[in-house]
A and B are shown apart, each in its own frame.
Chain A
Amino acid sequence: MMFKKIGVLALGLSAACLTLEASATEYFGTLKKINDSGTIMVGHRESSVPFSYLNEAQEPIGYSIDLCIQVVDEVSQVLGKKVNVEYVPINGKTRIPLLANGSIDIECGSTTNNLTRQKQIDYAHTTFITGTKLLVRKDSGINEVEDLEGKSIALAQGTTNERAIKKIAQEKGITVKILSVKDHAQGFLALKTDRVDAYSTDDILLYGLISKAKNPQDYEVTGRFLSYDPYALMVRQDDSAFRLVVNRRLSALFRSGEINSIYSKWFDNMNVPMSDMLQTAIQIQTFPQ
Protein backbone atom coordinates (compact mmCIF):
# COMPACT_ATOMS: atom_id res chain seq x y z
CA MET A 1 0.00 0.00 0.00
CA MET A 2 2.81 2.32 1.00
CA PHE A 3 4.75 1.49 -2.16
CA LYS A 4 1.72 2.04 -4.29
CA LYS A 5 1.23 5.50 -2.82
CA ILE A 6 4.83 6.45 -3.40
CA GLY A 7 4.59 5.10 -6.92
CA VAL A 8 1.52 7.21 -7.67
CA LEU A 9 3.16 10.24 -6.15
CA ALA A 10 6.32 9.71 -8.19
CA LEU A 11 4.30 9.26 -11.35
CA GLY A 12 2.33 12.41 -10.66
CA LEU A 13 5.47 14.39 -9.94
CA SER A 14 7.31 13.23 -13.02
CA ALA A 15 4.24 13.87 -15.16
CA ALA A 16 4.05 17.39 -13.72
CA CYS A 17 7.75 17.97 -14.43
CA LEU A 18 7.41 16.67 -17.96
CA THR A 19 4.40 18.86 -18.74
CA LEU A 20 6.27 21.84 -17.33
CA GLU A 21 9.25 21.07 -19.52
CA ALA A 22 7.11 20.41 -22.57
CA SER A 23 5.21 23.65 -22.26
CA ALA A 24 8.35 25.63 -21.57
CA THR A 25 10.31 24.35 -24.55
CA GLU A 26 9.77 25.30 -28.12
CA TYR A 27 11.04 22.79 -30.62
CA PHE A 28 12.50 23.30 -34.06
CA GLY A 29 13.05 21.15 -37.14
CA THR A 30 12.56 17.42 -36.81
CA LEU A 31 11.70 17.54 -33.10
CA LYS A 32 8.98 20.10 -33.80
CA LYS A 33 7.64 17.95 -36.65
CA ILE A 34 7.53 14.87 -34.40
CA ASN A 35 6.04 16.85 -31.52
CA ASP A 36 3.28 18.32 -33.73
CA SER A 37 2.31 15.07 -35.43
CA GLY A 38 2.98 12.77 -32.48
CA THR A 39 4.59 10.38 -34.94
CA ILE A 40 8.15 9.63 -35.96
CA MET A 41 8.64 8.29 -39.49
CA VAL A 42 11.32 5.60 -39.49
CA GLY A 43 12.82 4.55 -42.83
CA HIS A 44 13.80 0.88 -43.07
CA ARG A 45 15.33 -1.44 -45.69
CA GLU A 46 13.72 -4.68 -46.87
CA SER A 47 16.69 -6.99 -47.37
CA SER A 48 19.69 -5.56 -45.51
CA VAL A 49 20.29 -8.56 -43.25
CA PRO A 50 20.89 -8.29 -40.28
CA PHE A 51 20.64 -4.49 -40.09
CA SER A 52 17.21 -3.73 -41.39
CA TYR A 53 15.00 -6.27 -43.10
CA LEU A 54 11.54 -7.80 -43.04
CA ASN A 55 10.76 -10.90 -41.00
CA GLU A 56 8.19 -13.54 -41.97
CA ALA A 57 5.42 -11.29 -40.71
CA GLN A 58 6.75 -8.51 -42.97
CA GLU A 59 7.76 -6.38 -40.00
CA PRO A 60 11.07 -4.51 -40.05
CA ILE A 61 13.66 -5.98 -37.68
CA GLY A 62 17.44 -5.87 -37.28
CA TYR A 63 20.43 -4.28 -35.59
CA SER A 64 19.75 -0.76 -36.94
CA ILE A 65 16.03 -1.10 -36.17
CA ASP A 66 16.85 -2.02 -32.54
CA LEU A 67 19.05 1.08 -32.30
CA CYS A 68 16.26 3.18 -33.77
CA ILE A 69 13.75 1.82 -31.24
CA GLN A 70 16.16 3.10 -28.57
CA VAL A 71 16.32 6.46 -30.31
CA VAL A 72 12.52 6.67 -30.48
CA ASP A 73 12.46 6.01 -26.73
CA GLU A 74 14.89 8.91 -26.21
CA VAL A 75 12.73 11.16 -28.41
CA SER A 76 9.65 10.20 -26.36
CA GLN A 77 11.50 11.14 -23.18
CA VAL A 78 12.63 14.48 -24.57
CA LEU A 79 9.15 15.39 -25.80
CA GLY A 80 7.57 14.04 -22.65
CA LYS A 81 5.00 11.95 -24.47
CA LYS A 82 4.68 8.62 -26.17
CA VAL A 83 5.65 8.97 -29.82
CA ASN A 84 4.06 6.69 -32.43
CA VAL A 85 6.37 4.92 -34.86
CA GLU A 86 5.49 4.65 -38.51
CA TYR A 87 7.76 2.49 -40.65
CA VAL A 88 8.42 3.55 -44.24
CA PRO A 89 10.19 1.16 -46.64
CA ILE A 90 13.13 2.76 -48.45
CA ASN A 91 15.93 1.58 -50.71
CA GLY A 92 19.35 2.74 -51.82
CA LYS A 93 17.89 5.15 -54.31
CA THR A 94 15.05 6.63 -52.28
CA ARG A 95 16.66 7.05 -48.86
CA ILE A 96 18.20 10.49 -49.39
CA PRO A 97 15.28 12.19 -51.21
CA LEU A 98 12.76 10.76 -48.72
CA LEU A 99 14.81 12.01 -45.79
CA ALA A 100 15.34 15.43 -47.38
CA ASN A 101 11.64 15.92 -48.20
CA GLY A 102 10.45 14.87 -44.75
CA SER A 103 8.82 11.53 -45.67
CA ILE A 104 11.10 9.93 -43.09
CA ASP A 105 12.71 11.51 -40.01
CA ILE A 106 15.49 8.98 -39.49
CA GLU A 107 16.95 6.26 -41.70
CA CYS A 108 17.63 2.93 -40.03
CA GLY A 109 19.34 0.81 -42.63
CA SER A 110 22.88 0.08 -43.66
CA THR A 111 24.10 3.39 -45.01
CA THR A 112 27.73 4.33 -45.48
CA ASN A 113 28.68 7.69 -44.09
CA ASN A 114 30.49 9.57 -46.85
CA LEU A 115 31.23 13.22 -47.48
CA THR A 116 29.37 13.50 -50.80
CA ARG A 117 26.17 12.36 -49.11
CA GLN A 118 26.80 14.81 -46.27
CA LYS A 119 26.15 17.59 -48.77
CA GLN A 120 22.45 16.63 -48.55
CA ILE A 121 21.98 14.86 -45.22
CA ASP A 122 23.65 14.36 -41.86
CA TYR A 123 24.75 11.31 -39.90
CA ALA A 124 24.62 10.24 -36.27
CA HIS A 125 27.45 8.21 -34.65
CA THR A 126 29.00 5.33 -36.55
CA THR A 127 27.32 2.08 -35.53
CA PHE A 128 29.11 -0.46 -37.72
CA ILE A 129 32.23 -0.70 -39.88
CA THR A 130 32.55 -2.83 -42.99
CA GLY A 131 33.81 -2.73 -46.59
CA THR A 132 33.20 -4.02 -50.10
CA LYS A 133 33.92 -7.70 -50.82
CA LEU A 134 32.85 -10.29 -53.38
CA LEU A 135 30.28 -13.05 -53.00
CA VAL A 136 30.93 -16.00 -55.31
CA ARG A 137 30.08 -19.65 -55.77
CA LYS A 138 32.75 -21.81 -54.07
CA ASP A 139 33.72 -23.54 -57.35
CA SER A 140 34.03 -20.29 -59.33
CA GLY A 141 37.80 -19.88 -58.95
CA ILE A 142 37.41 -16.20 -58.10
CA ASN A 143 39.55 -15.08 -55.16
CA GLU A 144 40.23 -11.43 -55.80
CA VAL A 145 38.71 -8.66 -57.85
CA GLU A 146 41.41 -9.23 -60.53
CA ASP A 147 39.95 -12.72 -61.21
CA LEU A 148 36.78 -11.08 -62.55
CA GLU A 149 38.53 -10.48 -65.92
CA GLY A 150 36.10 -11.62 -68.63
CA LYS A 151 33.40 -12.55 -66.11
CA SER A 152 30.24 -10.84 -64.98
CA ILE A 153 29.19 -9.26 -61.70
CA ALA A 154 25.89 -7.93 -60.34
CA LEU A 155 25.92 -4.60 -58.50
CA ALA A 156 23.05 -2.94 -56.67
CA GLN A 157 22.01 0.45 -58.04
CA GLY A 158 22.82 3.35 -55.77
CA THR A 159 25.33 1.64 -53.49
CA THR A 160 28.84 2.79 -52.63
CA ASN A 161 29.98 -0.70 -53.65
CA GLU A 162 28.76 -0.14 -57.20
CA ARG A 163 31.01 2.87 -57.47
CA ALA A 164 33.93 1.18 -55.72
CA ILE A 165 33.92 -1.84 -58.08
CA LYS A 166 33.45 0.28 -61.22
CA LYS A 167 36.34 2.52 -60.16
CA ILE A 168 38.68 -0.40 -59.43
CA ALA A 169 37.74 -2.13 -62.70
CA GLN A 170 38.49 1.06 -64.59
CA GLU A 171 41.79 1.72 -62.82
CA LYS A 172 43.06 -1.81 -63.22
CA GLY A 173 41.71 -2.23 -66.74
CA ILE A 174 39.57 -5.24 -65.81
CA THR A 175 36.90 -6.02 -68.41
CA VAL A 176 33.95 -7.25 -66.41
CA LYS A 177 30.33 -7.27 -67.51
CA ILE A 178 28.19 -5.39 -65.00
CA LEU A 179 24.56 -6.21 -64.36
CA SER A 180 22.78 -3.45 -62.53
CA VAL A 181 20.22 -4.88 -60.07
CA LYS A 182 17.54 -3.32 -57.90
CA ASP A 183 18.55 -4.61 -54.46
CA HIS A 184 20.59 -7.21 -52.59
CA ALA A 185 17.93 -9.90 -52.94
CA GLN A 186 17.86 -9.52 -56.73
CA GLY A 187 21.67 -9.45 -56.89
CA PHE A 188 21.85 -12.73 -55.00
CA LEU A 189 19.11 -14.16 -57.24
CA ALA A 190 21.22 -13.29 -60.29
CA LEU A 191 24.16 -15.15 -58.72
CA LYS A 192 22.01 -18.14 -57.67
CA THR A 193 20.54 -18.53 -61.17
CA ASP A 194 24.06 -18.39 -62.65
CA ARG A 195 23.39 -15.20 -64.54
CA VAL A 196 26.51 -13.63 -63.05
CA ASP A 197 29.72 -14.96 -61.47
CA ALA A 198 29.77 -12.64 -58.49
CA TYR A 199 27.75 -10.18 -56.47
CA SER A 200 29.35 -7.41 -54.52
CA THR A 201 28.31 -5.33 -51.56
CA ASP A 202 29.51 -4.75 -47.98
CA ASP A 203 30.95 -7.97 -46.63
CA ILE A 204 28.61 -8.12 -43.63
CA LEU A 205 25.59 -7.96 -45.95
CA LEU A 206 27.08 -10.76 -48.04
CA TYR A 207 27.31 -12.95 -44.92
CA GLY A 208 23.71 -12.01 -44.25
CA LEU A 209 22.66 -13.14 -47.74
CA ILE A 210 24.51 -16.44 -47.30
CA SER A 211 22.86 -17.05 -43.93
CA LYS A 212 19.44 -16.70 -45.54
CA ALA A 213 20.28 -18.90 -48.57
CA LYS A 214 18.92 -22.39 -49.11
CA ASN A 215 22.41 -23.87 -49.67
CA PRO A 216 24.74 -21.64 -47.65
CA GLN A 217 27.63 -24.08 -48.13
CA ASP A 218 27.74 -23.34 -51.89
CA TYR A 219 28.75 -19.70 -51.49
CA GLU A 220 31.66 -17.81 -50.01
CA VAL A 221 32.76 -14.25 -49.36
CA THR A 222 36.16 -13.69 -50.86
CA GLY A 223 38.97 -11.19 -51.46
CA ARG A 224 40.38 -8.19 -49.66
CA PHE A 225 38.39 -5.16 -48.55
CA LEU A 226 37.84 -2.97 -51.61
CA SER A 227 36.49 0.01 -49.69
CA TYR A 228 36.04 1.39 -46.16
CA ASP A 229 32.36 1.75 -45.23
CA PRO A 230 31.40 3.12 -41.81
CA TYR A 231 27.63 2.78 -41.27
CA ALA A 232 25.56 5.39 -39.49
CA LEU A 233 21.92 6.33 -39.00
CA MET A 234 20.95 9.20 -41.30
CA VAL A 235 19.19 12.34 -40.08
CA ARG A 236 18.24 15.57 -41.80
CA GLN A 237 20.84 18.23 -42.48
CA ASP A 238 21.26 21.31 -40.29
CA ASP A 239 19.26 19.81 -37.43
CA SER A 240 21.82 19.42 -34.67
CA ALA A 241 19.09 19.39 -31.98
CA PHE A 242 17.62 16.15 -33.34
CA ARG A 243 21.04 14.69 -34.11
CA LEU A 244 22.03 15.37 -30.49
CA VAL A 245 19.01 13.39 -29.24
CA VAL A 246 20.01 10.46 -31.45
CA ASN A 247 23.69 10.63 -30.49
CA ARG A 248 22.91 11.00 -26.78
CA ARG A 249 21.09 7.67 -26.77
CA LEU A 250 23.76 5.99 -28.89
CA SER A 251 26.51 7.21 -26.54
CA ALA A 252 24.45 5.96 -23.58
CA LEU A 253 24.19 2.51 -25.19
CA PHE A 254 27.95 2.55 -25.85
CA ARG A 255 28.70 3.66 -22.27
CA SER A 256 26.46 1.11 -20.55
CA GLY A 257 27.71 -1.74 -22.74
CA GLU A 258 24.14 -2.40 -23.87
CA ILE A 259 25.47 -2.13 -27.43
CA ASN A 260 27.23 -5.48 -26.89
CA SER A 261 24.03 -7.38 -26.21
CA ILE A 262 22.26 -5.72 -29.16
CA TYR A 263 25.25 -6.63 -31.33
CA SER A 264 25.28 -10.25 -30.10
CA LYS A 265 21.55 -10.61 -30.76
CA TRP A 266 22.05 -10.01 -34.49
CA PHE A 267 25.62 -11.06 -35.29
CA ASP A 268 26.35 -14.07 -33.08
CA ASN A 269 24.46 -16.56 -35.23
CA MET A 270 26.36 -15.24 -38.26
CA ASN A 271 29.68 -15.86 -36.48
CA VAL A 272 30.76 -12.27 -36.92
CA PRO A 273 32.30 -11.04 -33.66
CA MET A 274 32.70 -7.30 -33.12
CA SER A 275 35.84 -6.17 -34.95
CA ASP A 276 38.64 -4.34 -33.12
CA MET A 277 38.00 -1.38 -35.36
CA LEU A 278 34.34 -1.16 -34.34
CA GLN A 279 35.24 -1.59 -30.65
CA THR A 280 37.63 1.34 -30.95
CA ALA A 281 35.05 3.41 -32.81
CA ILE A 282 32.52 2.74 -30.07
CA GLN A 283 35.01 3.75 -27.36
CA ILE A 284 35.84 6.98 -29.15
CA GLN A 285 32.15 7.81 -29.59
CA THR A 286 31.30 7.24 -25.93
CA PHE A 287 31.21 10.93 -25.14
CA PRO A 288 30.77 11.90 -21.47
CA GLN A 289 27.38 13.17 -20.29
Chain B
Amino acid sequence: MKYNWDWGILFSAPYMDWLISGLGWTISVALAAWVIAFSVGSIVGVARTVPNRAIRAIGTAYVELFRNIPLLVQMFLWYFVLPEMVPDDVGRWLKREMPNPEYFSAVICLGLYTASRVAEQVRAGIEAISTGLSSAGYAAGLSTTQVYLHVLLPISYRQIVLPLTNEFLTIFKNSSLALTIGLLELTAQSQQVSEYTFQSFEAFTAATVIYVAVAAVVTLIMHKLEHLMYVPGFIGTGDK
Protein backbone atom coordinates (compact mmCIF):
# COMPACT_ATOMS: atom_id res chain seq x y z
CA MET B 1 0.00 0.00 0.00
CA LYS B 2 1.32 3.40 -1.00
CA TYR B 3 0.85 5.77 1.93
CA ASN B 4 2.80 8.49 3.73
CA TRP B 5 2.52 7.81 7.45
CA ASP B 6 2.61 10.71 9.89
CA TRP B 7 1.59 9.87 13.44
CA GLY B 8 2.68 13.31 14.63
CA ILE B 9 -0.47 15.00 13.36
CA LEU B 10 -2.51 13.28 16.06
CA PHE B 11 -0.67 15.23 18.72
CA SER B 12 -0.57 18.58 16.93
CA ALA B 13 -3.04 21.46 17.22
CA PRO B 14 -5.89 21.61 16.49
CA TYR B 15 -6.35 17.92 15.68
CA MET B 16 -5.67 16.63 19.20
CA ASP B 17 -8.25 19.08 20.58
CA TRP B 18 -10.79 17.84 18.05
CA LEU B 19 -10.31 14.24 19.18
CA ILE B 20 -10.58 15.25 22.85
CA SER B 21 -13.77 17.23 22.20
CA GLY B 22 -15.10 14.25 20.24
CA LEU B 23 -14.40 11.95 23.15
CA GLY B 24 -16.21 14.41 25.43
CA TRP B 25 -19.35 14.32 23.26
CA THR B 26 -19.20 10.52 23.00
CA ILE B 27 -19.06 10.14 26.78
CA SER B 28 -21.74 12.73 27.44
CA VAL B 29 -24.12 11.22 24.86
CA ALA B 30 -23.53 7.71 26.21
CA LEU B 31 -23.96 8.63 29.89
CA ALA B 32 -27.07 10.79 29.37
CA ALA B 33 -28.61 8.13 27.12
CA TRP B 34 -27.77 5.49 29.75
CA VAL B 35 -29.75 7.41 32.40
CA ILE B 36 -32.80 7.29 30.11
CA ALA B 37 -32.14 3.69 29.09
CA PHE B 38 -31.79 2.48 32.67
CA SER B 39 -34.85 4.26 34.07
CA VAL B 40 -37.21 3.68 31.14
CA GLY B 41 -35.84 0.16 30.68
CA SER B 42 -36.49 -0.68 34.34
CA ILE B 43 -40.10 0.50 34.17
CA VAL B 44 -40.76 -1.33 30.90
CA GLY B 45 -38.99 -4.46 32.11
CA VAL B 46 -41.08 -4.59 35.29
CA ALA B 47 -44.22 -3.85 33.25
CA ARG B 48 -43.54 -6.97 31.20
CA THR B 49 -43.72 -9.19 34.31
CA VAL B 50 -46.65 -7.76 36.29
CA PRO B 51 -49.90 -9.76 36.62
CA ASN B 52 -51.95 -7.06 34.82
CA ARG B 53 -52.36 -8.10 31.19
CA ALA B 54 -52.85 -4.61 29.69
CA ILE B 55 -49.67 -3.27 31.29
CA ARG B 56 -47.78 -6.34 30.10
CA ALA B 57 -49.01 -5.74 26.55
CA ILE B 58 -47.83 -2.11 26.61
CA GLY B 59 -44.40 -3.23 27.83
CA THR B 60 -44.15 -5.85 25.09
CA ALA B 61 -45.24 -3.36 22.43
CA TYR B 62 -42.56 -0.91 23.55
CA VAL B 63 -39.81 -3.51 23.40
CA GLU B 64 -40.86 -4.86 20.01
CA LEU B 65 -41.18 -1.38 18.51
CA PHE B 66 -37.86 0.04 19.67
CA ARG B 67 -35.83 -3.12 19.39
CA ASN B 68 -36.93 -4.01 15.86
CA ILE B 69 -36.31 -0.70 14.08
CA PRO B 70 -32.67 -0.17 13.11
CA LEU B 71 -31.01 2.44 15.30
CA LEU B 72 -29.84 4.42 12.29
CA VAL B 73 -33.41 4.73 11.06
CA GLN B 74 -34.55 5.80 14.54
CA MET B 75 -31.90 8.55 14.59
CA PHE B 76 -33.21 9.81 11.29
CA LEU B 77 -36.84 9.66 12.48
CA TRP B 78 -36.18 11.62 15.67
CA TYR B 79 -34.07 14.22 13.95
CA PHE B 80 -35.69 14.77 10.56
CA VAL B 81 -39.22 13.36 10.76
CA LEU B 82 -40.42 14.25 14.27
CA PRO B 83 -40.21 18.07 13.73
CA GLU B 84 -42.42 17.67 10.64
CA MET B 85 -45.09 15.67 12.51
CA VAL B 86 -45.69 18.12 15.36
CA PRO B 87 -47.47 21.52 15.06
CA ASP B 88 -45.46 24.08 13.04
CA ASP B 89 -44.45 26.21 16.03
CA VAL B 90 -43.13 23.26 17.98
CA GLY B 91 -41.40 21.92 14.88
CA ARG B 92 -39.73 25.26 14.27
CA TRP B 93 -38.60 25.39 17.91
CA LEU B 94 -37.18 21.87 17.60
CA LYS B 95 -35.31 22.76 14.44
CA ARG B 96 -34.11 26.29 15.14
CA GLU B 97 -34.37 27.53 18.72
CA MET B 98 -33.64 24.43 20.75
CA PRO B 99 -29.97 24.47 21.81
CA ASN B 100 -27.97 21.52 20.49
CA PRO B 101 -30.80 19.71 18.66
CA GLU B 102 -28.31 17.09 17.41
CA TYR B 103 -27.25 16.25 20.95
CA PHE B 104 -30.74 15.94 22.42
CA SER B 105 -32.10 13.97 19.47
CA ALA B 106 -29.18 11.57 19.77
CA VAL B 107 -29.55 11.16 23.56
CA ILE B 108 -33.31 10.55 23.41
CA CYS B 109 -33.04 8.19 20.44
CA LEU B 110 -30.17 6.17 21.86
CA GLY B 111 -31.72 6.17 25.36
CA LEU B 112 -35.12 4.89 24.27
CA TYR B 113 -33.58 2.31 21.95
CA THR B 114 -31.26 0.94 24.64
CA ALA B 115 -34.18 1.00 27.12
CA SER B 116 -35.86 -1.75 25.11
CA ARG B 117 -32.75 -3.88 25.50
CA VAL B 118 -32.34 -3.09 29.20
CA ALA B 119 -36.04 -3.95 29.69
CA GLU B 120 -35.39 -7.45 28.39
CA GLN B 121 -32.53 -7.94 30.86
CA VAL B 122 -34.66 -6.68 33.74
CA ARG B 123 -37.50 -9.00 32.74
CA ALA B 124 -35.13 -11.95 32.46
CA GLY B 125 -33.69 -11.09 35.88
CA ILE B 126 -37.13 -11.09 37.50
CA GLU B 127 -38.30 -14.23 35.73
CA ALA B 128 -35.16 -16.07 36.78
CA ILE B 129 -36.22 -15.88 40.41
CA SER B 130 -38.24 -18.94 41.43
CA THR B 131 -41.93 -18.26 42.01
CA GLY B 132 -41.54 -19.65 45.54
CA LEU B 133 -40.02 -16.38 46.72
CA SER B 134 -42.83 -14.15 45.49
CA SER B 135 -45.42 -16.65 46.76
CA ALA B 136 -43.74 -16.48 50.14
CA GLY B 137 -43.93 -12.70 49.97
CA TYR B 138 -47.64 -12.75 49.19
CA ALA B 139 -48.17 -15.32 52.01
CA ALA B 140 -46.43 -12.94 54.40
CA GLY B 141 -49.08 -10.36 53.50
CA LEU B 142 -47.08 -8.14 51.11
CA SER B 143 -48.86 -6.31 48.30
CA THR B 144 -47.68 -6.76 44.66
CA THR B 145 -45.76 -3.46 44.87
CA GLN B 146 -44.09 -4.59 48.06
CA VAL B 147 -43.19 -7.98 46.59
CA TYR B 148 -41.42 -6.16 43.72
CA LEU B 149 -39.70 -3.56 45.90
CA HIS B 150 -38.56 -5.81 48.71
CA VAL B 151 -38.16 -9.25 47.12
CA LEU B 152 -37.90 -9.38 43.32
CA LEU B 153 -36.07 -6.21 42.30
CA PRO B 154 -33.28 -6.29 44.92
CA ILE B 155 -32.34 -9.82 43.86
CA SER B 156 -32.81 -9.43 40.10
CA TYR B 157 -30.83 -6.19 39.74
CA ARG B 158 -27.87 -7.70 41.54
CA GLN B 159 -27.96 -10.62 39.14
CA ILE B 160 -28.18 -8.72 35.86
CA VAL B 161 -25.06 -6.60 36.36
CA LEU B 162 -23.17 -8.77 33.90
CA PRO B 163 -25.65 -8.56 30.99
CA LEU B 164 -26.10 -4.84 31.68
CA THR B 165 -22.34 -4.37 31.25
CA ASN B 166 -22.87 -5.46 27.68
CA GLU B 167 -25.57 -2.87 27.09
CA PHE B 168 -23.50 -0.18 28.77
CA LEU B 169 -20.57 -0.93 26.45
CA THR B 170 -22.85 -1.02 23.44
CA ILE B 171 -24.25 2.41 24.20
CA PHE B 172 -20.74 3.92 23.85
CA LYS B 173 -20.25 2.24 20.51
CA ASN B 174 -23.76 3.04 19.27
CA SER B 175 -23.24 6.71 20.12
CA SER B 176 -21.09 6.90 16.99
CA LEU B 177 -24.30 6.80 14.92
CA ALA B 178 -25.03 10.32 16.19
CA LEU B 179 -22.59 11.55 13.56
CA THR B 180 -25.24 10.86 10.89
CA ILE B 181 -27.34 13.67 12.35
CA GLY B 182 -24.38 16.01 12.59
CA LEU B 183 -23.12 15.53 16.15
CA LEU B 184 -19.34 15.84 16.14
CA GLU B 185 -18.54 12.96 18.48
CA LEU B 186 -15.39 10.86 18.43
CA THR B 187 -15.95 9.08 15.12
CA ALA B 188 -17.05 12.28 13.40
CA GLN B 189 -14.04 14.16 14.75
CA SER B 190 -11.63 11.45 13.64
CA GLN B 191 -13.21 11.67 10.19
CA GLN B 192 -12.75 15.42 10.28
CA VAL B 193 -9.08 15.01 11.19
CA SER B 194 -8.72 12.64 8.27
CA GLU B 195 -10.40 15.13 5.93
CA TYR B 196 -8.23 18.05 6.94
CA THR B 197 -4.95 16.16 6.94
CA PHE B 198 -5.76 13.23 4.61
CA GLN B 199 -3.94 11.06 7.14
CA SER B 200 -7.01 8.82 7.36
CA PHE B 201 -5.39 5.72 8.77
CA GLU B 202 -3.77 7.58 11.69
CA ALA B 203 -7.06 9.31 12.52
CA PHE B 204 -9.13 6.12 12.47
CA THR B 205 -6.48 4.25 14.44
CA ALA B 206 -6.65 6.96 17.10
CA ALA B 207 -10.44 6.61 17.30
CA THR B 208 -10.13 2.82 17.57
CA VAL B 209 -7.60 3.02 20.38
CA ILE B 210 -9.74 5.53 22.30
CA TYR B 211 -12.89 3.38 21.96
CA VAL B 212 -11.01 0.31 23.17
CA ALA B 213 -9.64 2.28 26.14
CA VAL B 214 -13.13 3.52 27.07
CA ALA B 215 -14.49 -0.02 26.79
CA ALA B 216 -11.68 -1.34 29.01
CA VAL B 217 -12.42 1.24 31.71
CA VAL B 218 -16.16 0.49 31.58
CA THR B 219 -15.52 -3.26 31.79
CA LEU B 220 -13.23 -2.80 34.78
CA ILE B 221 -15.77 -0.68 36.68
CA MET B 222 -18.60 -3.08 35.95
CA HIS B 223 -16.47 -6.04 37.01
CA LYS B 224 -15.83 -4.41 40.38
CA LEU B 225 -19.55 -3.61 40.67
CA GLU B 226 -20.43 -7.22 39.91
CA HIS B 227 -18.29 -8.45 42.79
CA LEU B 228 -19.87 -5.93 45.15
CA MET B 229 -23.35 -6.99 44.07
CA TYR B 230 -22.72 -10.72 44.31
CA VAL B 231 -25.68 -12.55 45.87
CA PRO B 232 -24.49 -15.68 47.69
CA GLY B 233 -26.39 -18.79 46.69
CA PHE B 234 -27.59 -17.55 43.29
CA ILE B 235 -26.25 -18.62 39.92
CA GLY B 236 -24.79 -16.42 37.20
CA THR B 237 -22.57 -14.37 39.45
CA GLY B 238 -19.25 -15.19 37.86
CA ASP B 239 -15.97 -16.11 39.53
CA LYS B 240 -15.24 -15.31 43.10
Binding site for B on A (CB under 8 A): 92-93, 96-97, 100-102, 116-117, 119-120, 152, 157-158, 162-163, 179-182, 189, 193-195, 236-239
Q: Which of B1-49 contact A (CB under 8 A)?
A: 1-4
Q: Give the shortest distance, in Å, between A15 (CB) and chain B (any CB).
A: 34
- Chain A residue nearest to B102 (CB atoms) is A179
Asked whether A237 and B196 contact (CB < 8 A) given A93-B191, A157-B188, the answer is no
Is B182 among interface residues, defined by CB-CB distance under 8 A?
yes
Q: Cβ of A116: which chain B residues have Cβ within 8 Å of it?
A: 197-198
Binary flags per residue of B77-92, CB closer than 8 Å to A gives 1, else 0:
0001001100000001
Minimum C-beta distance from B12 to chain A (A): 15
Residues of B within 8 A of A237 (CB): 2
B96: A residues at CB distance < 8 A: 152, 194-195
User: A158 and B191: CB pair below 8 A?
Assistant: yes
Q: Is the CB of B191 within 8 A of A100?
A: no
In angstroms, Cα B188 to Cα A115, docked, is 24
A93 to chain B, nearest CB (A): 5
B201: which A residues are within 8 A, CB to CB? 97
Q: CB within 8 A of B198: which of A117, A179, A181, A239?
A: A117
Let me know if A100 and B3 touch, CB within 8 A.
yes
Q: For chains A and B in complex, what number of residue pairs have CB atoms within 8 angstroms?
A: 59
Residue-wise interface mask of B (164-190) relative to A, using a CB-CB cutoff of 8 A (1 in contact, 0 not):
000000000000000110101000100
Instruction: Verify A97–B182 contact, CB threshold 8 A.
Output: no
Please list the 9 inter-chain residue pairs (A to B) with the smallest Cβ-Cβ separation, ordered nearest first. Answer: A97-B200, A158-B195, A195-B95, A180-B182, A120-B198, A93-B191, A179-B182, A237-B2, A100-B3
Chain A CB within 8 A of B194 CB: yes
Identify whether the interface residues of B are mostly helix, strand, loop, or mixed: helix
Which chain A positions have C-beta within 8 A of B179? 182
Q: How far is the CA of A152 from the CA of B102 in the complex (A)?
A: 14
Task: Check B4 against A238 for contact (C-beta < 8 Å).
Answer: no
In the complex the two chains form, is A157's CB within 8 Å of B2's CB?
A: no
Q: Which residue of A lies closest to B198 (CB)?
A: A120
Contact indicator A181/B182 (Cβ below 8 Å): yes
Evaluate contact between A96 and B200: CB separation under 8 angstroms: yes
CB-CB nearest in chain B for A158: B195
Contact between chains at B195 and A157 (CB < 8 Å): yes
Our pick among B4, B83, B84, B95 for the contact of A120 (Cβ within 8 Å) is: B4
Seed contacts A120-B3, A195-B83; 19 additional CB < 8 Å A-B pairs: A92-B195, A97-B204, A100-B2, A102-B1, A116-B198, A120-B198, A120-B200, A157-B192, A158-B192, A158-B195, A163-B196, A179-B102, A181-B182, A182-B179, A189-B80, A193-B83, A193-B84, A194-B95, A195-B96
* Nearest CB on B from A103, distance (A): 11
Interface pair B198/A96, CB less than 8 Å apart: yes
B205 to chain A, nearest CB (A): 12
**B15 → A minimal CB distance (Å):** 14
The answer to whether B191 touches A236 (Cβ under 8 A) is no
Most buried by A among B2, B4, B191: B2
Residue of B nearest to A181 (CB): B182
Give Cα distance in the complex from A193 to B82, angstroms: 11
- Which among A92, A93, A180 is the interface contact of B184 at CB below 8 angstroms? A180
List of A residues within 8 angstroms of B196 by Cβ: 163
Q: List 24 A-B contacts (CB under 8 A).
A: A97-B194, A97-B200, A116-B198, A120-B3, A120-B198, A152-B96, A157-B188, A157-B195, A162-B195, A163-B196, A179-B102, A179-B182, A180-B188, A182-B179, A189-B80, A193-B83, A193-B84, A193-B95, A194-B92, A194-B95, A194-B96, A195-B83, A195-B96, A236-B2
Residue in chain B with minimal CB distance to A179: B182
- Residues of A contacting B83 in the complex (Cβ-Cβ under 8 angstroms): 193, 195
